[in-house]
Structure 1
Amino acid sequence: MSAYGAVISRNRPAAPLASTAWLCKPRASVPTHLTLHHLTLASASMLPGLVPYLHRCFADELERGATYPQEILPGEPYTQAQFETYYFAADVIVGIVGLGDAPDSDGAAVQGGVEEARQGRGWEECVAGVYYVKPNYPGRSSHICNAGFLIPLAQRAKGFGSVLAKSYLHYAPRLGYEASVFNLVYVNNIASVRMWESLGFTKAGLIPRAGRLKKADGSGEEYVDAWVIYKQFETVQQ
Protein backbone atom coordinates (compact mmCIF):
# COMPACT_ATOMS: atom_id res chain seq x y z
CA MET A 1 0.00 0.00 0.00
CA SER A 2 1.41 3.39 -1.02
CA ALA A 3 0.74 6.84 0.38
CA TYR A 4 -1.97 7.06 -2.28
CA GLY A 5 -3.69 3.81 -1.28
CA ALA A 6 -3.85 0.90 -3.70
CA VAL A 7 -2.18 1.89 -6.98
CA ILE A 8 -3.58 0.20 -10.10
CA SER A 9 -1.66 -0.50 -13.29
CA ARG A 10 -3.89 0.54 -16.19
CA ASN A 11 -1.66 -0.13 -19.22
CA ARG A 12 -0.62 -3.73 -18.66
CA PRO A 13 -0.54 -6.00 -21.73
CA ALA A 14 -3.28 -8.59 -21.98
CA ALA A 15 -0.83 -11.48 -22.34
CA PRO A 16 2.48 -12.26 -20.61
CA LEU A 17 5.52 -10.68 -22.22
CA ALA A 18 7.91 -12.96 -24.07
CA SER A 19 10.71 -14.61 -22.14
CA THR A 20 14.17 -13.35 -23.07
CA ALA A 21 17.84 -14.22 -22.58
CA TRP A 22 20.52 -11.86 -21.29
CA LEU A 23 24.30 -12.24 -21.29
CA CYS A 24 26.35 -12.25 -18.10
CA LYS A 25 29.83 -10.73 -18.04
CA PRO A 26 32.38 -13.51 -18.57
CA ARG A 27 33.97 -14.54 -15.31
CA ALA A 28 35.07 -17.75 -13.63
CA SER A 29 32.29 -19.99 -12.25
CA VAL A 30 29.50 -17.63 -13.40
CA PRO A 31 26.88 -18.82 -15.91
CA THR A 32 26.97 -17.33 -19.39
CA HIS A 33 23.42 -15.98 -19.33
CA LEU A 34 20.08 -15.60 -17.58
CA THR A 35 16.60 -16.10 -18.93
CA LEU A 36 13.99 -13.56 -17.81
CA HIS A 37 10.31 -14.41 -17.39
CA HIS A 38 7.23 -12.23 -16.83
CA LEU A 39 5.00 -13.41 -13.97
CA THR A 40 1.98 -12.29 -12.00
CA LEU A 41 0.90 -13.67 -8.64
CA ALA A 42 -1.51 -16.03 -10.42
CA SER A 43 1.14 -17.48 -12.74
CA ALA A 44 3.85 -17.57 -10.06
CA SER A 45 1.52 -19.45 -7.71
CA MET A 46 1.27 -22.21 -10.31
CA LEU A 47 5.01 -22.90 -9.85
CA PRO A 48 5.18 -24.99 -6.65
CA GLY A 49 7.43 -23.47 -4.02
CA LEU A 50 8.48 -20.36 -5.95
CA VAL A 51 6.43 -17.74 -4.08
CA PRO A 52 7.33 -19.18 -0.63
CA TYR A 53 11.00 -19.17 -1.63
CA LEU A 54 10.88 -15.54 -2.79
CA HIS A 55 9.00 -14.63 0.38
CA ARG A 56 11.79 -16.11 2.53
CA CYS A 57 14.46 -14.26 0.54
CA PHE A 58 12.62 -10.95 0.85
CA ALA A 59 11.91 -11.40 4.57
CA ASP A 60 15.63 -12.07 5.10
CA GLU A 61 16.45 -8.87 3.20
CA LEU A 62 14.07 -6.86 5.36
CA GLU A 63 15.62 -8.40 8.47
CA ARG A 64 19.04 -7.13 7.37
CA GLY A 65 17.55 -3.64 7.37
CA ALA A 66 19.89 -2.01 4.87
CA THR A 67 18.10 -1.68 1.52
CA TYR A 68 14.29 -1.58 1.84
CA PRO A 69 12.40 0.78 4.18
CA GLN A 70 10.04 -1.87 5.59
CA GLU A 71 10.86 -2.94 9.14
CA ILE A 72 10.18 -6.30 10.76
CA LEU A 73 9.55 -5.64 14.44
CA PRO A 74 10.52 -8.16 17.12
CA GLY A 75 7.87 -10.84 17.47
CA GLU A 76 6.03 -9.73 14.32
CA PRO A 77 6.76 -12.08 11.40
CA TYR A 78 6.60 -10.85 7.83
CA THR A 79 3.93 -13.11 6.39
CA GLN A 80 3.65 -14.49 2.89
CA ALA A 81 0.35 -12.63 2.51
CA GLN A 82 2.13 -9.32 3.24
CA PHE A 83 4.83 -10.22 0.73
CA GLU A 84 2.34 -11.11 -1.98
CA THR A 85 0.38 -7.87 -1.48
CA TYR A 86 3.53 -5.77 -1.74
CA TYR A 87 5.77 -7.60 -4.19
CA PHE A 88 3.16 -9.07 -6.53
CA ALA A 89 0.89 -6.02 -6.68
CA ALA A 90 1.33 -5.91 -10.47
CA ASP A 91 4.09 -7.57 -12.50
CA VAL A 92 7.23 -9.49 -11.56
CA ILE A 93 10.23 -10.48 -13.66
CA VAL A 94 12.21 -13.48 -12.45
CA GLY A 95 15.71 -14.33 -13.66
CA ILE A 96 16.69 -17.98 -14.06
CA VAL A 97 20.31 -19.09 -14.36
CA GLY A 98 20.72 -20.20 -17.95
CA LEU A 99 21.87 -23.62 -19.09
CA GLY A 100 23.34 -24.42 -22.48
CA ASP A 101 24.53 -21.98 -25.10
CA ALA A 102 24.45 -18.24 -24.50
CA PRO A 103 22.31 -15.99 -26.73
CA ASP A 104 23.86 -13.89 -29.46
CA SER A 105 22.63 -10.66 -27.88
CA ASP A 106 20.72 -9.28 -24.92
CA GLY A 107 16.95 -9.52 -25.09
CA ALA A 108 16.81 -12.43 -27.51
CA ALA A 109 13.45 -14.22 -27.29
CA VAL A 110 13.50 -17.73 -25.84
CA GLN A 111 10.96 -20.49 -26.03
CA GLY A 112 9.29 -21.86 -22.92
CA GLY A 113 8.63 -20.53 -19.46
CA VAL A 114 10.11 -20.81 -16.01
CA GLU A 115 9.69 -24.58 -15.68
CA GLU A 116 11.43 -25.21 -18.98
CA ALA A 117 14.28 -22.89 -17.97
CA ARG A 118 14.48 -24.44 -14.52
CA GLN A 119 15.10 -27.94 -15.89
CA GLY A 120 14.37 -29.70 -12.63
CA ARG A 121 16.67 -27.59 -10.45
CA GLY A 122 15.69 -26.30 -7.03
CA TRP A 123 14.71 -22.64 -6.72
CA GLU A 124 17.78 -21.93 -4.56
CA GLU A 125 20.01 -23.13 -7.39
CA CYS A 126 18.33 -21.57 -10.39
CA VAL A 127 16.75 -18.24 -9.29
CA ALA A 128 19.34 -15.55 -10.01
CA GLY A 129 17.12 -12.68 -8.89
CA VAL A 130 13.75 -11.04 -9.23
CA TYR A 131 12.15 -7.61 -9.46
CA TYR A 132 8.66 -6.16 -9.39
CA VAL A 133 7.37 -3.44 -11.70
CA LYS A 134 4.36 -1.38 -10.65
CA PRO A 135 3.07 2.19 -10.84
CA ASN A 136 4.86 4.63 -8.58
CA TYR A 137 1.84 6.96 -8.53
CA PRO A 138 -1.91 6.53 -9.15
CA GLY A 139 -4.22 7.59 -11.94
CA ARG A 140 -2.90 10.50 -13.94
CA SER A 141 0.71 9.69 -13.04
CA SER A 142 0.48 5.91 -13.30
CA HIS A 143 2.57 5.93 -16.48
CA ILE A 144 5.63 6.29 -14.20
CA CYS A 145 6.72 3.04 -12.61
CA ASN A 146 8.82 1.85 -9.73
CA ALA A 147 10.75 -1.39 -9.30
CA GLY A 148 12.24 -3.35 -6.43
CA PHE A 149 15.15 -5.71 -7.00
CA LEU A 150 16.13 -8.75 -4.96
CA ILE A 151 19.14 -11.02 -5.39
CA PRO A 152 19.20 -14.09 -3.09
CA LEU A 153 22.29 -14.15 -0.88
CA ALA A 154 23.65 -17.28 -2.55
CA GLN A 155 23.58 -15.54 -5.94
CA ARG A 156 25.29 -12.28 -5.03
CA ALA A 157 28.67 -11.04 -6.31
CA LYS A 158 28.04 -12.73 -9.67
CA GLY A 159 26.97 -9.67 -11.66
CA PHE A 160 23.33 -10.75 -11.82
CA GLY A 161 22.10 -7.39 -10.49
CA SER A 162 23.41 -5.51 -13.51
CA VAL A 163 21.84 -8.07 -15.86
CA LEU A 164 18.44 -7.63 -14.20
CA ALA A 165 18.84 -3.84 -14.31
CA LYS A 166 19.46 -3.89 -18.07
CA SER A 167 16.45 -6.12 -18.59
CA TYR A 168 14.30 -3.62 -16.67
CA LEU A 169 14.84 -1.13 -19.49
CA HIS A 170 13.42 -3.76 -21.84
CA TYR A 171 10.44 -4.92 -19.81
CA ALA A 172 9.14 -1.75 -18.14
CA PRO A 173 8.29 0.11 -21.38
CA ARG A 174 6.62 -3.03 -22.74
CA LEU A 175 4.48 -3.14 -19.60
CA GLY A 176 3.11 0.25 -20.62
CA TYR A 177 5.30 2.69 -18.65
CA GLU A 178 6.95 5.85 -19.97
CA ALA A 179 9.43 6.47 -17.16
CA SER A 180 10.81 5.14 -13.88
CA VAL A 181 11.34 6.63 -10.44
CA PHE A 182 13.23 5.00 -7.60
CA ASN A 183 12.08 6.78 -4.47
CA LEU A 184 14.76 5.62 -2.04
CA VAL A 185 18.20 4.65 -3.28
CA TYR A 186 20.22 4.98 -0.11
CA VAL A 187 23.45 6.86 -0.66
CA ASN A 188 25.55 4.19 1.05
CA ASN A 189 24.48 1.72 -1.66
CA ILE A 190 27.23 3.07 -3.89
CA ALA A 191 27.26 0.14 -6.32
CA SER A 192 23.54 0.55 -7.01
CA VAL A 193 23.81 4.30 -7.57
CA ARG A 194 26.69 3.83 -10.00
CA MET A 195 24.86 1.07 -11.86
CA TRP A 196 21.74 3.16 -12.43
CA GLU A 197 23.77 6.16 -13.52
CA SER A 198 25.62 3.95 -16.01
CA LEU A 199 22.23 3.04 -17.51
CA GLY A 200 21.23 6.66 -18.01
CA PHE A 201 19.30 7.34 -14.80
CA THR A 202 19.71 10.75 -13.20
CA LYS A 203 19.55 11.94 -9.61
CA ALA A 204 16.36 13.98 -9.32
CA GLY A 205 16.84 14.94 -5.70
CA LEU A 206 18.25 14.05 -2.28
CA ILE A 207 16.14 13.20 0.76
CA PRO A 208 18.09 13.85 3.99
CA ARG A 209 17.94 11.19 6.71
CA ALA A 210 15.56 9.12 4.60
CA GLY A 211 16.31 5.77 6.18
CA ARG A 212 17.06 4.46 9.66
CA LEU A 213 19.25 1.58 8.55
CA LYS A 214 21.18 -1.11 10.34
CA LYS A 215 24.95 -0.64 10.25
CA ALA A 216 26.90 -3.23 8.31
CA ASP A 217 29.09 -4.04 11.32
CA GLY A 218 26.07 -4.80 13.49
CA SER A 219 26.83 -2.01 15.96
CA GLY A 220 23.42 -0.38 15.74
CA GLU A 221 21.50 1.90 13.39
CA GLU A 222 22.14 5.17 11.61
CA TYR A 223 20.18 7.65 9.51
CA VAL A 224 21.13 7.62 5.83
CA ASP A 225 20.25 10.03 3.03
CA ALA A 226 18.60 8.69 -0.14
CA TRP A 227 18.62 9.68 -3.79
CA VAL A 228 15.49 9.91 -5.91
CA ILE A 229 16.56 8.51 -9.27
CA TYR A 230 14.70 8.97 -12.57
CA LYS A 231 14.80 7.88 -16.19
CA GLN A 232 12.47 8.39 -19.15
CA PHE A 233 12.27 5.26 -21.26
CA GLU A 234 12.83 5.11 -24.98
CA THR A 235 9.75 4.41 -27.06
CA VAL A 236 9.50 0.75 -28.01
CA GLN A 237 7.56 -1.15 -30.62
CA GLN A 238 5.15 -3.52 -28.91
Structure 2
Amino acid sequence: MSAYGTVTRAQPATQLAATAWRCTPRAGAPTHLTLHHLTLARAAALPGLLAYLHACFADELERGATYPQEVLPGETYTREQFEGYYFGADVIMGLVGTGGAPAEDGEEVRTDVEQARAGRSWEECVAGVYYVKPNYPGRSSHICNGGFLIPPVQRNKGFGSVLARSFLHYAPRLGYEASVFNLVYVNNIASVKLWEALGFTKAGRIPRAGRLKKADGIGEEYVDAWVFYKQFEPVQQ
Protein backbone atom coordinates (compact mmCIF):
# COMPACT_ATOMS: atom_id res chain seq x y z
CA MET A 1 0.00 0.00 0.00
CA SER A 2 1.45 3.35 -1.06
CA ALA A 3 0.64 6.88 0.05
CA TYR A 4 -1.95 6.83 -2.76
CA GLY A 5 -3.44 3.46 -1.86
CA THR A 6 -2.99 0.49 -4.18
CA VAL A 7 -1.79 1.79 -7.54
CA THR A 8 -2.74 -0.55 -10.37
CA ARG A 9 -3.79 -0.32 -13.98
CA ALA A 10 -5.67 -2.46 -16.44
CA GLN A 11 -3.64 -5.05 -18.30
CA PRO A 12 -2.90 -4.23 -21.96
CA ALA A 13 -5.18 -5.86 -24.49
CA THR A 14 -2.36 -7.55 -26.37
CA GLN A 15 0.87 -9.23 -25.40
CA LEU A 16 3.95 -7.34 -26.52
CA ALA A 17 6.32 -9.17 -28.83
CA ALA A 18 9.33 -11.00 -27.50
CA THR A 19 12.64 -9.36 -28.41
CA ALA A 20 16.34 -10.20 -28.38
CA TRP A 21 19.05 -8.02 -26.79
CA ARG A 22 22.79 -8.39 -27.09
CA CYS A 23 25.01 -9.02 -24.08
CA THR A 24 28.44 -7.47 -23.64
CA PRO A 25 30.90 -9.90 -25.26
CA ARG A 26 32.63 -11.99 -22.62
CA ALA A 27 34.51 -15.26 -22.94
CA GLY A 28 32.09 -18.13 -22.37
CA ALA A 29 29.17 -15.77 -21.68
CA PRO A 30 25.78 -15.82 -23.44
CA THR A 31 25.56 -13.71 -26.59
CA HIS A 32 22.08 -12.36 -25.88
CA LEU A 33 18.89 -12.44 -23.84
CA THR A 34 15.36 -12.86 -25.07
CA LEU A 35 12.81 -10.63 -23.32
CA HIS A 36 9.23 -11.76 -22.72
CA HIS A 37 6.16 -9.81 -21.61
CA LEU A 38 4.33 -11.47 -18.72
CA THR A 39 1.24 -10.83 -16.63
CA LEU A 40 0.34 -12.80 -13.52
CA ALA A 41 -1.96 -15.06 -15.52
CA ARG A 42 0.72 -15.81 -18.11
CA ALA A 43 3.35 -16.47 -15.44
CA ALA A 44 0.99 -18.75 -13.51
CA ALA A 45 0.60 -20.90 -16.63
CA LEU A 46 4.35 -21.67 -16.56
CA PRO A 47 4.90 -24.43 -13.97
CA GLY A 48 7.33 -23.49 -11.22
CA LEU A 49 8.10 -19.97 -12.46
CA LEU A 50 6.24 -17.96 -9.82
CA ALA A 51 7.62 -20.14 -7.03
CA TYR A 52 11.15 -19.54 -8.30
CA LEU A 53 10.73 -15.77 -8.71
CA HIS A 54 9.10 -15.52 -5.28
CA ALA A 55 12.09 -17.29 -3.70
CA CYS A 56 14.53 -14.96 -5.50
CA PHE A 57 12.66 -11.84 -4.41
CA ALA A 58 12.33 -13.03 -0.81
CA ASP A 59 16.10 -13.58 -0.82
CA GLU A 60 16.63 -10.04 -2.10
CA LEU A 61 14.47 -8.61 0.68
CA GLU A 62 16.46 -10.63 3.21
CA ARG A 63 19.64 -8.98 1.90
CA GLY A 64 18.09 -5.66 2.92
CA ALA A 65 20.13 -3.52 0.53
CA THR A 66 18.04 -2.61 -2.52
CA TYR A 67 14.29 -2.69 -1.81
CA PRO A 68 12.60 -0.82 1.07
CA GLN A 69 10.38 -3.72 2.18
CA GLU A 70 11.45 -5.30 5.45
CA VAL A 71 10.73 -8.86 6.56
CA LEU A 72 10.93 -8.92 10.35
CA PRO A 73 12.28 -11.87 12.35
CA GLY A 74 9.67 -14.60 12.52
CA GLU A 75 7.78 -13.24 9.52
CA THR A 76 7.52 -14.84 6.09
CA TYR A 77 7.24 -12.94 2.84
CA THR A 78 4.46 -14.94 1.26
CA ARG A 79 3.91 -15.77 -2.37
CA GLU A 80 0.61 -13.89 -2.21
CA GLN A 81 2.45 -10.75 -1.10
CA PHE A 82 4.99 -11.20 -3.88
CA GLU A 83 2.40 -11.68 -6.60
CA GLY A 84 0.37 -8.70 -5.42
CA TYR A 85 3.42 -6.44 -5.39
CA TYR A 86 5.57 -7.63 -8.26
CA PHE A 87 2.83 -8.66 -10.68
CA GLY A 88 0.55 -5.70 -10.01
CA ALA A 89 0.71 -4.80 -13.71
CA ASP A 90 3.28 -5.97 -16.27
CA VAL A 91 6.52 -7.92 -15.91
CA ILE A 92 9.31 -8.36 -18.45
CA MET A 93 11.45 -11.47 -18.05
CA GLY A 94 14.87 -12.02 -19.61
CA LEU A 95 15.95 -15.52 -20.56
CA VAL A 96 19.51 -16.49 -21.43
CA GLY A 97 19.52 -16.84 -25.20
CA THR A 98 20.66 -19.83 -27.21
CA GLY A 99 22.28 -19.63 -30.62
CA GLY A 100 23.66 -16.51 -32.26
CA ALA A 101 23.16 -12.93 -31.19
CA PRO A 102 20.60 -10.67 -32.92
CA ALA A 103 21.75 -8.14 -35.51
CA GLU A 104 20.51 -5.31 -33.30
CA ASP A 105 18.91 -4.75 -29.89
CA GLY A 106 15.15 -5.07 -29.74
CA GLU A 107 14.87 -7.40 -32.71
CA GLU A 108 11.54 -9.23 -32.52
CA VAL A 109 11.75 -13.00 -32.13
CA ARG A 110 9.00 -15.51 -32.83
CA THR A 111 9.41 -17.63 -29.74
CA ASP A 112 7.38 -18.10 -26.59
CA VAL A 113 8.78 -18.60 -23.10
CA GLU A 114 8.80 -22.39 -23.20
CA GLN A 115 10.50 -22.42 -26.59
CA ALA A 116 13.12 -19.95 -25.36
CA ARG A 117 13.54 -21.95 -22.17
CA ALA A 118 14.59 -24.94 -24.32
CA GLY A 119 14.12 -27.54 -21.61
CA ARG A 120 16.32 -25.76 -19.07
CA SER A 121 15.45 -25.18 -15.42
CA TRP A 122 14.35 -21.68 -14.40
CA GLU A 123 17.56 -21.36 -12.41
CA GLU A 124 19.57 -21.96 -15.57
CA CYS A 125 17.72 -19.69 -17.94
CA VAL A 126 16.12 -16.76 -16.05
CA ALA A 127 18.61 -13.91 -16.36
CA GLY A 128 16.38 -11.43 -14.54
CA VAL A 129 12.98 -9.76 -14.39
CA TYR A 130 11.50 -6.32 -13.86
CA TYR A 131 8.04 -4.95 -13.30
CA VAL A 132 6.57 -1.90 -15.03
CA LYS A 133 3.65 -0.22 -13.28
CA PRO A 134 2.29 3.26 -12.57
CA ASN A 135 4.28 5.26 -10.06
CA TYR A 136 1.24 7.41 -9.31
CA PRO A 137 -2.54 6.94 -9.73
CA GLY A 138 -5.07 8.50 -12.05
CA ARG A 139 -3.98 11.78 -13.56
CA SER A 140 -0.29 10.92 -13.14
CA SER A 141 -0.50 7.25 -14.09
CA HIS A 142 1.32 7.93 -17.38
CA ILE A 143 4.56 7.95 -15.34
CA CYS A 144 5.79 4.47 -14.51
CA ASN A 145 8.14 2.84 -12.06
CA GLY A 146 10.30 -0.22 -12.52
CA GLY A 147 11.70 -2.76 -10.10
CA PHE A 148 14.57 -5.01 -11.18
CA LEU A 149 15.63 -8.41 -9.89
CA ILE A 150 18.62 -10.53 -10.90
CA PRO A 151 18.65 -14.05 -9.39
CA PRO A 152 21.76 -14.67 -7.26
CA VAL A 153 23.10 -17.32 -9.66
CA GLN A 154 23.01 -14.80 -12.56
CA ARG A 155 24.72 -11.82 -10.98
CA ASN A 156 27.95 -10.21 -12.20
CA LYS A 157 27.28 -11.29 -15.80
CA GLY A 158 26.21 -7.92 -17.19
CA PHE A 159 22.54 -8.87 -17.42
CA GLY A 160 21.40 -5.82 -15.47
CA SER A 161 22.47 -3.43 -18.21
CA VAL A 162 20.66 -5.53 -20.84
CA LEU A 163 17.43 -5.44 -18.83
CA ALA A 164 17.79 -1.71 -18.26
CA ARG A 165 18.16 -1.02 -21.99
CA SER A 166 15.10 -3.11 -22.72
CA PHE A 167 13.11 -1.13 -20.14
CA LEU A 168 13.40 1.90 -22.43
CA HIS A 169 11.85 -0.21 -25.19
CA TYR A 170 9.01 -1.85 -23.29
CA ALA A 171 7.83 0.88 -20.91
CA PRO A 172 6.69 3.32 -23.62
CA ARG A 173 5.04 0.46 -25.53
CA LEU A 174 3.05 -0.27 -22.40
CA GLY A 175 1.65 3.24 -22.65
CA TYR A 176 3.91 5.25 -20.36
CA GLU A 177 5.42 8.65 -21.20
CA ALA A 178 8.13 8.75 -18.55
CA SER A 179 9.63 6.86 -15.62
CA VAL A 180 10.52 7.72 -12.03
CA PHE A 181 12.67 5.55 -9.78
CA ASN A 182 11.83 6.67 -6.26
CA LEU A 183 14.65 5.05 -4.32
CA VAL A 184 18.00 4.26 -5.91
CA TYR A 185 20.23 4.05 -2.86
CA VAL A 186 23.45 6.00 -3.33
CA ASN A 187 25.61 3.06 -2.27
CA ASN A 188 24.20 1.02 -5.19
CA ILE A 189 26.91 2.48 -7.39
CA ALA A 190 26.37 0.13 -10.33
CA SER A 191 22.70 1.10 -10.61
CA VAL A 192 23.44 4.81 -10.25
CA LYS A 193 26.02 4.68 -13.05
CA LEU A 194 23.73 2.59 -15.24
CA TRP A 195 20.76 4.97 -15.06
CA GLU A 196 23.00 7.97 -15.61
CA ALA A 197 24.47 6.29 -18.70
CA LEU A 198 20.96 5.71 -20.06
CA GLY A 199 20.06 9.38 -19.80
CA PHE A 200 18.12 9.45 -16.54
CA THR A 201 18.23 12.72 -14.59
CA LYS A 202 18.82 12.95 -10.86
CA ALA A 203 15.63 14.74 -9.84
CA GLY A 204 16.54 14.86 -6.16
CA ARG A 205 18.36 13.28 -3.25
CA ILE A 206 16.48 12.01 -0.18
CA PRO A 207 18.60 12.05 2.99
CA ARG A 208 18.58 8.89 5.13
CA ALA A 209 16.03 7.31 2.82
CA GLY A 210 16.82 3.72 3.72
CA ARG A 211 17.83 1.82 6.84
CA LEU A 212 19.88 -0.81 5.05
CA LYS A 213 21.94 -3.78 6.12
CA LYS A 214 25.67 -3.16 5.88
CA ALA A 215 27.64 -4.94 3.19
CA ASP A 216 29.48 -7.08 5.76
CA GLY A 217 26.15 -8.19 7.22
CA ILE A 218 26.93 -6.72 10.62
CA GLY A 219 24.47 -4.05 11.65
CA GLU A 220 22.54 -1.44 9.68
CA GLU A 221 23.05 2.12 8.49
CA TYR A 222 20.99 4.96 7.05
CA VAL A 223 21.67 5.61 3.37
CA ASP A 224 20.57 8.46 1.09
CA ALA A 225 18.70 7.72 -2.14
CA TRP A 226 18.51 9.34 -5.56
CA VAL A 227 15.24 9.96 -7.36
CA PHE A 228 15.80 9.34 -11.10
CA TYR A 229 13.58 10.57 -13.93
CA LYS A 230 13.48 10.10 -17.71
CA GLN A 231 11.08 11.17 -20.43
CA PHE A 232 10.69 8.42 -23.02
CA GLU A 233 11.16 8.89 -26.74
CA PRO A 234 7.87 8.58 -28.65
CA VAL A 235 7.25 5.10 -30.02
CA GLN A 236 7.67 4.94 -33.77
CA GLN A 237 4.54 3.41 -35.35
Q: TM-score range by the shorter chain?
A: over 0.9
Q: CA–CA distance in 1 between the matches of 2:28 and 2:9?
A: 39
1:140 aligns with 2:134: no
Alignment partner, residue 6 of structure 2: 6
Alignment partner, residue 23 of structure 2: 24
Alignment partner, residue 129 of structure 2: 130
Q: CA–CA distance in 2 between the matches of 1:28 and 1:210?
A: 39
SS in 2 for 1:195: helix
Alignment partner, residue 33 of structure 1: 32
Alignment partner, residue 168 of structure 1: 167
Q: Could you tell me the percent identity over the aligned residues?
A: 78
Q: CA–CA distance in 1 between the matches of 2:14 and 2:152?
A: 32
Q: Which runs of 4+ in 1 moved over 4 A?
A: none
Deviation at 1:113, TM superposition (A): 1.1
Q: CA–CA distance in 2 between the matches of 1:219 and 1:101?
A: 44
Alignment partner, residue 64 of structure 1: 63
When normalised by structure 2's length, the TM-score is 0.99
Q: CA–CA distance in 1 between the matches of 2:90 and 2:197?
A: 25
SS in 1 for 2:225: strand
- The one-letter code sitting in structure 1 at the alignment partner of 2:119 is G
Deviation at 1:233, TM superposition (A): 0.2
Mapping of residues 1-238 of structure 1, within 5 Å: 1-9=1-9, 13-238=12-237
Q: CA–CA distance in 2 between the matches of 1:151 and 1:28?
A: 21
Deviation at 1:7, TM superposition (A): 1.2
Deviation at 1:100, TM superposition (A): 0.7
SS in 1 for 2:46: coil
Q: CA–CA distance in 2 between the matches of 1:136 and 1:51?
A: 23
Q: Deviations over 1:20-57 (max 9, x none)?
A: 00000000121000000000000000000000000000
Deviation at 1:13, TM superposition (A): 3.1
Deviation at 1:101, TM superposition (A): 1.3
SS in 2 for 1:177: coil
Q: Deviations over 1:67-89 (max 9, x none)?
A: 00000101110000000000000
**Gap runs ≥5 in structure 2:** none
Q: Deviations over 1:81-106 (max 9, x none)?
A: 00000000000000000001110000
Deviation at 1:62, TM superposition (A): 0.1
SS in 2 for 1:93: strand
Q: CA–CA distance in 2 between the matches of 1:58 and 1:14?
A: 27
- The one-letter code sitting in structure 1 at the alignment partner of 2:51 is P
**Gap runs ≥5 in structure 1:** none
RMSD: 0.8
